[in-house]
Amino acid sequence: MHKSLGIIAKGRCIPRGENPVREWASLQHGDLVEVWSNDSFRFTAYVDDRADDGRLLWLIENGAGSRRLFIQEDPVTLYPI
């Protein structure tokens, strides 16, 4: 189990101890985050780059090295590590 996975409620894993990142503009190059979608953990990633207003975010998946682009309207939730 991933280190920050918490309680399982109604079939969903909920991260423990962290609030989601609300303002993507607050993220900096090199920050490590967990990426969640549909209330499930997907992967950890490092922030590679972002738009100044925080609407676009490039993440590099930890381990796989895949670089992915997200927009704030995507159905993902980011948690700081």
State the pTM of this model: 0.79
Evaluate whether residue 12 is within a structural domain.
Answer: no
Evaluate whether residue 8 is within a structural domain.
Answer: no
Evaluate whether residue 53 is within a structural domain.
Answer: yes
Evaluate whether residue 31 is within a structural domain.
Answer: yes
Task: Give 10-residue mean pLDDT values along the chain (81 residues).
Answer: 46 66 96 92 96 97 95 95 89
Give the per-residue pLDDT at 18: 73
Evaluate whether residue 9 is within a structural domain.
Answer: no
Q: What is the CATH number of the domain that holds 69?
A: 2.30.30.520
Give the per-residue pLDDT at 6: 52
Total tally of structural domains belonging to the chain: 1
Evaluate whether residue 1 is within a structural domain.
Answer: no
Give the per-residue pLDDT at 42: 94
Q: Which long-range contacts (CB under 8 A, 24 or more apart) does 15-24 make?
A: 15/41, 15/79, 18/79, 18/80, 18/81, 19/79, 20/77, 20/78, 20/79, 21/78, 21/79, 21/80, 23/54, 24/50, 24/54, 24/55, 24/57, 24/72, 24/78
Give the per-residue pLDDT at 39: 83
Which residues constitute the domain of residue 35? 18-80
